[in-house]
Amino acid sequence: MNSGIDGKRNMNSNQPFDKKSTGKKNPKISRLIKIFILGVLTFCMISLVVLIIWAGIVWRVPMAETLHLPVIPAFQIPNILGLSTPSKQPVCGNEPEWFVMLVGLDSRESGSEYLYGLADVIRIIRVDFTEPSVNVVSLPRALLVNIPEDRILVTGPMLLNQAYFFGTRGMGYYTGTGYGAGSLAETIQYNFGITANHYLVVNFQAFVMFIDAIGGIDVDLPTYVDDRPNSYFPPGKQHLNGEEALTLARIRKKYSDLIRINDQSLIINAIVQRLKDPAILTKLPAIYASLKDSVITDVSPAQLETALCLLNKLGENNLKFYDPGWDLITDDWEYIPTMKNDMEILRWDQKLLDWMYLSLWSK
């Protein structure tokens, strides 16, 4: 009787083994396996390199269209400053300084379209990366300005906040890059000689979402702000959520526009102080991910990381706010062609320019 099972070879049989069944590898098959493994490894390595290159590019790509403003002759900082462009090595990133235009829009438009909107808040911020410091200069929205009419295709003069509006996607009167941000930045350059190389635009909805995402802010009001029956803020320290901060930033019915500018500066300072909290810093990636489609900025993720690096190095007295006083501007009326009406405006002269330069480069 055959002692094999299911036709398998009886291991005690005297029959010779078939050489092909001894486990000896076929050279052709072995070579094919090696080629296949080498191909897989090569593919993985190429994919990894491509991924690293792609991530590096994306990390440095601006989140919105960059500004391409006309090149103008460098203006002279007043001699009384005795200052110049930083010559030391930056402590964060590889640029010595930034000029950032911060814009807050009077719009609750949802999403990231930003089709319309007037610039309700306008700030020029000089960031010094060589001697960590940030100077924030306020520009009243009602400043009367001329416009480069070959680039902004409407008739001037106009109020400064209108320069953003006519450049928006919805209006489309600006021929440069950056839509409303570009139109406003070029108007600021055209009138004041200051060239912004970055911008951040936030509407009301994004502002409220951001304040709530960082857990609110703490402000210390030097005096009460009364807008009853709509709202009232007592003097002293208080914690504000997003809606409350927005309400405070917009109150001007019983006050001048300059008083409102002061309140807005208090809020911006409170936001910066909140961001310096280590507990908030750890949440910023998640906050950024949730809000990146609700703001417009030409800053790349890598540049945002550079800004956060500087934030950690800012001393208590190295964040300064400069708001213009009535000695620098004059309240008046002017016919505004785009409005086809007389509008209340703020006139300015060289005194305002000198103040702006001094404030931006102040140590």
Spatial separation of the C-alpha atoms in residues 149 and 363, rounded to whole Å: 36
Distance, in Å, from the CA atom of 216 to the CA atom of 243, rounded to the nearest integer, reads 10
Task: Please list, in sequence order, all residues whose beta carbon lies within 8 angstroms of the beta carbon of residue 110, skipping any fewer than 6 positions away.
Answer: 205
Residue 354 φ then ψ, to 5°: -60, -40
Q: Are 108 and 224 in contact (CB under 8 A)?
A: no
CATH of the domain at 248: 3.40.630.190
Does residue 20 belong to any structural domain of this protein? no
The reply to whether 7 falls in a domain is: no
Asked if 234 and 224 count as a contact pair (C-beta separation under 8 A), the reply is: yes
| Inside any domain, residue 284 | yes
Instruction: Please state whether beta strands 158-159 and 133-138 pair in parallel, antiparallel, or not at all (unpaired).
Output: unpaired
Question: Running along the chain, 363 residues long, what does each successive block of 10 average in pLDDT?
Answer: 45 46 59 60 46 38 70 58 69 93 81 80 94 94 94 96 96 94 96 94 89 93 87 94 92 74 90 87 76 83 86 87 94 97 96 94 86
CA dihedral 172, 176, 180, 186 (to 10 degrees): -140
Please report the pLDDT score of residue 290 as a whole number.
Answer: 73
Domain span holding position 289: 62-361
In a domain, 187, yes or no: yes
Instruction: Say how many domains are in the chain.
Output: 1
Q: 264 CB contacts (<8 Å, ≥6 apart)? A: 104, 121, 138, 249
Both tokens assigned to 29: 């098959």
Nearest to 343 by CA among 161, 116, 166: 161
State the DSSP code for 143: B
Spatial distance between the Cα atoms of 324 and 72, rounded to a whole number of angstroms? 25
State residue 260's pLDDT score.
81
Residue 48 lies in a domain: no
**pLDDT at 73 (0 to 100):** 64
Contacts of 163 (CB under 8 A, 6+ apart): 119, 145, 147, 152, 183, 184, 186, 187, 188
- Specify the pLDDT at position 247: 92
Q: Is residue 36 part of a domain?
A: no
Contact 165, 65 (CB under 8 A): no
Instruction: Report the pLDDT value the prediction gives residue 179, as an integer from 0 to 100.
Output: 94
Task: Decide if 102 is inside a domain.
Answer: yes
Q: Is 120 part of any domain?
A: yes
